[in-house]
Amino acid sequence: MELSTCRSRCTRGRATAEKRGIEIERGTVRLGSHRPSDSRNGKTKASLTVGRVIGGFNVRGEETRVASADEAAALIERSKFLWHQRFQLVPGVFTPGVSDVGYLMDIAEIPGDLAGMTVLDIGTTNGGAAFEFERRGAERVVAVDIADASLFGISELIAFLGSTVEFIRASVYELPAVLREPFDLVVFWGVLYHLRHPLLALDSLRELTAGTVSIETAIADHELGALRGRPCVRFYRLGELAEDSSNWFAPSVAALCEWLYSCGFEPTKVHSWPSNYPSRAIVNALVAPGQPEYQGVSYERPIRAQLIDQHDGDGNR
Ligand SMILES: C[S@@+](CC[C@H](N)C(=O)[O-])C[C@H]1O[C@@H](n2cnc3c(N)ncnc32)[C@H](O)[C@@H]1O
């Protein structure tokens, strides 16, 4: 599949420290960032004190690798993979991606304490959300992407952080067959509009979710005119959405909620932005009891995607 949306938005690993916006001055490292235009305070830089050392224990009780701010800055500088997400790698050091994980966590109202919960992050890219779920105490975090682990450096980042996050390379369609168990929280941020089969993906999410699913997506409300508020879905045949031919469908918020009800979820939170031109939304939903609604009203039955390939224990094919 094409990853041009991600690629075009990501900071290239080959960039020099200067191009990355890393400045070192009077004992302070400054890391450039590409926050969304509606990011808080409009600030684009974060600062930290050089030489700060952190460490601790992961949920398995293993001592985690001690990483300093200098080491984190050096990792960012030498990285050859794509940075899609902006997140705190170690205290005060932010990665140079454009997708602000803190912003997504806030608008999705992810609890600060995830102790004892299992979390699945589908479309993980750099794993920024997965690492944050781990920091918040989740018992098990599985990070999934259709892209090879090397594209977004997820294995390198897991090793750097001494993280217990498990990476699996798979498509959302085949995940129920790969994982075979539901998760307390399933996060599906920035993936839905990249799919040619969005309802099949939501059917997969229903099988993978024991509690809450959180979906963040492009939406079509801003271009619906008189149909605004109606359950409409916009199809983009070529690169009509953001000049990115990996974008296929954008539902209206109403359509996304209707899809969720039909697939066996009950939306509990809906937030779209920007308010005058809604082009993105986040919807949280709980699993509705019983069989998915559509199975009670039609002869349609779940389609099961075939496993593309076998997976080894490291999440690779
Ligand atoms: C725009 S990025 C979103 C990254 C991250 N979730 C965020 O919001 O910051 C989309 C990600 O979804 C992944 N992806 C696309 N299609 C997928 C599929 N069928 N199954 C799993 N992941 C997929 C892409 O490889 C990419 O890493």
Nearest to 166 by CA among 312, 1, 7, 3: 312
Task: Please give the Cα distance from 265 to 245 (Å, whole number).
Answer: 29
Task: Please give the Cα distance from 290 to 268 (Å, whole number).
Answer: 18
Strand partners, 280: 218, 273
Ligand 1 midpoint to CA 153 (Å): 14
Sign (positive or negative) of CA dihedral 226, 293, 268, 116:
negative
From 2, 157, 194, give the residue whose CB has the most ligand 1 atoms within 8 Å, as the site to mutate. Answer: 194
The pTM score is: 0.83
From 125, 132, 133, 307, give the residue whose CB has the most ligand 1 atoms within 8 Å, as the site to mutate. Answer: 125
Q: Crossing angle, helix 253-263 and helix 198-208, to 10 degrees?
A: 50
Ligand 1 midpoint to CA 96 (Å): 18
Query: So what's the architecture of 81-297 in CATH?
Result: 3-Layer(aba) Sandwich (3.40)
Residues 92, 96, 102, 105, Cα dihedral to 10°: -140
From 10, 33, 146, give the residue whose CB has the most ligand 1 atoms within 8 Å, as the site to mutate. Answer: 146
Ligand 1 midpoint to CA 83 (Å): 13
In a structure prediction context, what are the per-residue pLDDT tens digits for the chain, which is 317 residues long?
333 333 333 332 223 232 333 222 222 222 222 233 333 333 222 222 222 234 566 677 776 656 899 999 999 999 999 999 999 999 999 999 999 999 999 999 999 999 999 999 999 999 999 999 999 999 999 999 999 999 999 999 999 999 999 999 999 999 999 998 999 999 999 999 999 999 999 999 999 999 999 999 999 999 999 999 999 999 999 999 999 999 999 999 999 999 999 999 999 999 999 999 999 999 999 999 999 999 999 999 887 777 766 655 455 55
84 ligand 1 Cβ < 6 A: yes
Residues contacting residue 25 through CB under 8 Å, at least 6 positions apart:
none
> How do the domains of the chain map onto residue ranges?
81-297
Which helix (H) or strand (E) element contains residue 135? Answer: helix 128-135
